[in-house]
Amino acid sequence: MELFAVALCFLPCVAAAISMGLATGKAVDAVARQPEASGKINSIMLLGMALTEATAIYGFVTALLMLFTKID
């Protein structure tokens, strides 16, 4: 049961990777349509990527804590 909980904590890491890929693809499409707005698009995308990466890091740290800390 403990290993299942750790696997669930790794779920945000997978979801973050998928969403970062989708966001990058959408940003490339947006820059292709409006090259003059590339600076604004890139800054908004990087802010979103930072928040998404923070979620992945929280999930990873929680999984590591659960994996290496046993409460008896």
Number of domains in the chain: 1
Do the beta carbons of residue 6 and residue 67 sit within 8 Å? yes
Do the beta carbons of residue 9 and residue 56 sit within 8 Å? no
- Predicted local distance difference test score (pLDDT) of residue 44: 93
Could you list the residue range(s) of the whole structural domain that residue 51 is in?
Answer: 2-68
Tokens of 39: 């600076």
- Predicted local distance difference test score (pLDDT) of residue 71: 65
- Predicted local distance difference test score (pLDDT) of residue 2: 77
Q: What CATH number should be reported for the domain holding residue 29? A: 1.20.20.10
Query: How deeply is 30 buried, as exposed, middle or buried, from its count of CB atoms within 10 A (0-12, 13-18, 19+)?
Result: middle
> What are the per-10-residue average pLDDT scores of the chain (72 residues)?
82 91 94 94 93 92 86 60
